[in-house]
Amino acid sequence: MRARTMASVAVSACVALVACACGPEKATKDTDAKPSQSSASRRAKEPSATPSASARPDRPSATPTGDQPAPRTKEGAIQRYEEYLHALGREDIDTVCDVAGPAAKKAQDQGLGPCRSTYAAVFQMISPAQKKALRTATVDPQRVAVRTPDKIEMPVEAVRASATFSESDLGSYTLEYLKNDWYITD
């Protein structure tokens, strides 16, 4: 997150701050729970059904399967960000910390706590109406800015949900393509 956004979000009870140490490459040491599992490995264990041709989506899925990398496309970044928003609404700490890992590490290095403790507070600060809205939130592709093939900006104005979110309570994010998937880095 940008410094000004990080400061305002921290002051406003860290509503959607990505402040965790449990990045995609490691699990945190400060928890007794089992290490977080990457969303890609969880998806690989799910049974797959072959949909009929009429049930297939118009755009390709951004969900990586097995060891295949996620699509390095704007659509892939949007789907990954929507995964983060839905996880935030469900209080799914493993997915939130997976997607936001690189930004969370930066935030922790700047003095904010590890992901699990920070997001425990964040989850309490999100209203029930906002949580419900986040579970089904989508992103307007027209408002997403592609900076480079590996770097995409997700402004808060791109989030489409039944509740309103502002820069101070959700913020804008940068996603980068790292290690074959999209991660929030700023």
Give the pLDDT confidence of 14-45 residue by residue, as tens digits.
333 333 333 333 333 333 333 344 444 334 33
Could you tell me which residue, 183 or 60, shows the higher pLDDT?
183
Model confidence pTM above 0.75: no
Name the amino acid, one letter, at 19: A
Alpha-carbon torsion (77, 78, 83, 88), positive or negative: positive
Identify the weakest region by mean pLDDT among 67-76, 149-158, 174-183.
Answer: 67-76
The answer to whether residue 78 scores a pLDDT higher than 60 is yes
Q: What is the pLDDT of residue 66?
A: 56
Identify the weakest region by mean pLDDT among 11-20, 39-48, 120-129.
Answer: 11-20
Structure tokens at 84: 């983060």
Q: Where are the domains of the chain?
A: 3-28+74-184
Q: Using CA atoms, how far apart are residues 102 and 125, in angstroms rounded to an integer?
A: 23
The answer to whether residue 52 scores a pLDDT higher than 50 is no
pLDDT over 90 percentage in the chain: 45
Q: What is the DSSP letter of 173?
A: E
The answer to whether residue 179 scores a pLDDT higher than 60 is yes
Q: Are the CB atoms for 174 and 151 separated by under 8 Å? A: yes
In this prediction, residues 50-57 reach a mean pLDDT of 38
Of 30, 72, 64, 62, nearest to 44 by C-alpha is 64
Confidence band, pLDDT 50/70/90 cuts, at residue 104: confident
The answer to whether residue 133 scores a pLDDT higher than 70 is yes
Q: What is the pLDDT of residue 107?
A: 84
pLDDT tens profile 139-169: 999 999 999 999 999 999 999 999 989 888 8
In this prediction, residues 92-113 reach a mean pLDDT of 91
